[in-house]
Amino acid sequence: MGIAEVIPGVSGGTIAFITGIYHELINCIKAFDIEMLTMIKKGQFKKAVEKINPGFLIWLMIGMVAGILIGIFFISHMLETYPEVLWAAFFALILASIPYMIRSLKSPSWKLIPVFIVALLLAYMITRLTPVSASENYLYIFFGGMVAIVALVLPGISGSFILLLLGLYTLIIPTLKNFLSDPGYDEFKILSFFALGCIAGLVVFSRLVSAAFEIFHDTTVIAMTGFMIGSLNKIWPWRNPLTLLNKETGETIAFNTADHLASLGHEELKVLEETNVLPSEYVGDPHTTIVIVVFFVFTVLVFAMSRFAKKL
């Protein structure tokens, strides 16, 4: 989940659903409420801790922190050197999890199809949006954290991609990377406002999602399935750039294969718009064989995780 939260186009909530910990995750987040604060105020620390299932939460947080660190330092390198292989892995993870989502429906019905279509189209349209310019306003950073954290509780919606749309991805990820390497007060302030936004978002959205599951279980599941399929557009392994952004000057540049192919990995240039293509039309090395092998391996991994989760 930690790795997924760092990669635009992949949702941590999707990984939670695949591994069978989704409902426990929502319940843990919901446990942080007024009742828990009252227990702490009265000195009832044991009751407060038991309320949140500490064993589950501690191991989850350790895993997520490790995943975020791996994502920042290793996955970012993979995105620069072998993006097609990385996208193939996550494309397989999401696509192979669709049957698992559908099997979780309690009373499948044709009436759910319109909900599925609307959710799919909405997610697809979100992936087609063009990112806005970044802002370092603290209120905006707080809002960005609040919106992006939706990905943790809503499968199919990528937190990193939401950050990208809000123009905050190129601010938060480098700031976190710099803070981990050389902590500074400015980085601390930015990350603090972002973290507060994430906490606020979790408090609000976890309750909304939990209520939706309780009252409209099948509608919620089929909507999430639509979100997941619609998001696949953003992580197709072979995508050619259409527009680039020079992060230093703010200039928008139309992609030209001859002029810009060699500079795609440079930090000052970021891809704004892309188009999905076949391997034969890809501007770089498609690594077709490796992509197919990775896709197969991760598809098998999803089914293995699903079976393992049931046994646990």
pLDDT confidence tier of residue 246, bands split at 50, 70 and 90 = low
Alpha helices in 45-137 (DSSP H): 45-51, 54-70, 76-81, 83-103, 113-127
Is residue 147 a contact partner of residue 159, using CB atoms and an 8 Å limit?
no
Is residue 236 a contact partner of residue 91, using CB atoms and an 8 Å limit?
yes
Would you say residue 87 lies in a domain?
Answer: yes
Regarding predicted confidence, which is higher, 169 or 60? Answer: 60
Q: How many helices (H) and strands (E) does the chain have?
A: 17, 3
The owner of tokens 């990775």 is: 294
Would you say residue 77 lies in a domain?
Answer: yes
Q: What is the mean pLDDT of residues 247-259?
A: 62
Give the H or E element holding residue 245.
Answer: strand 239-246
302 burial (CB, 10 Å; 0-12 / 13-18 / 19+) is buried
Range of the domain at 146: 2-236+299-311
Q: Residue 258 has what pLDDT?
A: 45
Q: What is the DSSP letter of 158?
A: -
Would you say residue 263 lies in a domain?
Answer: no
How many domains does one find in the chain?
1
Q: What is the mean pLDDT of residues 175-182?
A: 81
Give tens-digit pLDDT for 287-308: 999 999 999 998 888 777 767 6
Would you say residue 269 lies in a domain?
Answer: no
Would you say residue 264 lies in a domain?
Answer: no
Is residue 235 a contact partner of residue 124, using CB atoms and an 8 Å limit?
no
Would you say residue 307 lies in a domain?
Answer: yes
Would you say residue 244 lies in a domain?
Answer: no
Radius of gyration of the chain (CA): 20
Would you say residue 243 lies in a domain?
Answer: no
